[in-house]
């Protein structure tokens, strides 16, 4: 039986394509294909009464990209540069994460997912990259599938084992980044301007870039998902 991977849904409020005033709870095809092609079964997990208890029925949890993490989730005031956020969505995703941790189910965080993991375990975020003048631009939506900046991968990290590389180019579609790393976590990769691009603690792995989107043009990120699936 293939491992079942729950993808925490992202809420899209009042979708313009919809005739109804109701939210959509979504993921996108790149995450679905990435898990499917790595040998897993992706299922979407939207908020509902018993959603958290569904964690025991699955083999792993994927926290996907999405809106900014609300600053209250890391006990800071909102700055003007912070983007849209939802305290309710943060709370739902953090509950799923904590339940997965409690049950020792592997977690993969991507982009917002990494930032949320850091916030949930006591770390903080830069609310925009301009809060650190040393940081280069990290938001390039046009080259969503291409490597736009290099990262250095730490030896012995989950990424070193999965990718077997020290330096790779990754896409970059984020304007926030980790400020203080959550206690107990290790940096697994960083960019040359010092942005934390991957973190880990046990079987909780997270990356700041979008490996699932890079898979639409090359196989270079396949091993990130197959290594994660092997944990599950």
Number of chain residues interacting with Mn ion (CB under 5 A): 2
CB of 101 to Mn ion, least distance (A): 26
CB of 147 to Mn ion, least distance (A): 10
Q: CB nearer to Mn ion: give 73 or 172.
A: 172
Q: CB nearer to Mn ion: give 2 or 179.
A: 179
User: How do beta strands 167-170 and 149-153 pair?
Assistant: antiparallel
Q: Which residues contact 59 (CB under 8 A, 6 or more apart)?
A: 3, 4, 5, 40, 105, 106, 232
CB of 66 to Mn ion, least distance (A): 16
DSSP at 71: G
Using CB under 5 A, which of 85, 124, 172, 176 touches Mn ion? 172
CB of 171 to Mn ion, least distance (A): 8
210 classed as catalytic: yes
Give the residue closest to Mn ion by C-beta: 172
Helices (H) and strands (E) in the chain, counts: 6, 13
112 binds Mn ion (CB under 5 A): no
Cβ atoms of 197 and 189 within 8 Å: the answer is: yes
27 binds Mn ion (CB under 5 A): no
User: How buried is residue 34: exposed, middle or buried, by Cβ count under 10 Å (0-12/13-18/19+)?
Assistant: buried
Rounded to whole angstroms, the maximal C-alpha distance in the chain is 51
By C-alpha distance, which of 14, 12, 7 is closest to 51?
A: 7
Active-site residue among 175, 190, 212, 232? 212
Q: CB nearer to Mn ion: give 59 or 197.
A: 197
174 classed as catalytic: no
DSSP at 1: -
Active-site residue among 111, 174, 190, 197? 111
138 binds Mn ion (CB under 5 A): yes
The residues annotated as belonging to the active site are: 111, 210, 212
| Binding residues for Mn ion (CB under 5 A) | 138, 172
């Amino acid at each position: 039986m293939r491992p079942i991977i729950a993808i925490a849904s992202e809420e899209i409020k009042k979708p313009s394509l919809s005739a109804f005033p109701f939210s959509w709870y979504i993921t996108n095809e790149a995450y679905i294909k990435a898990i499917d092609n790595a040998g897993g079964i992706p299922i979407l997990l939207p908020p509902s009464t018993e959603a958290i208890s569904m964690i025991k029925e699955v083999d792993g949890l994927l926290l996907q990209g999405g809106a900014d993490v609300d600053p209250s989730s890391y006990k800071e005031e909102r700055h003007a540069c912070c983007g849209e956020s939802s305290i309710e969505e943060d709370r739902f995703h953090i509950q799923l994460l904590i339940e997965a941790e409690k049950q020792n189910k592997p977690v993969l965080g991507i982009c917002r997912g990494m930032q949320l993991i850091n916030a949930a375990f006591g770390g903080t975020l830069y609310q925009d990259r301009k809060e650190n003048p040393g940081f280069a631009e990290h938001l390039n939506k046009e080259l969503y599938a291409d490597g736009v900046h290099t990262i250095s991968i730490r030896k012995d990290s989950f990424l070193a084992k999965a990718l077997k590389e020290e330096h790779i180019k990754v896409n970059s579609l984020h304007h926030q980044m980790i400020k203080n790393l959550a206690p107990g976590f290790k940096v697994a990769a960083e960019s040359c301007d010092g942005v934390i691009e991957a973190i880990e603690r046990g079987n909780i792995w997270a990356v700041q870039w979008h490996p699932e989107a890079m898979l639409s043009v090359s196989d270079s990120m396949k091993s990130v998902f197959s290594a994660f699936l092997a944990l599950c």
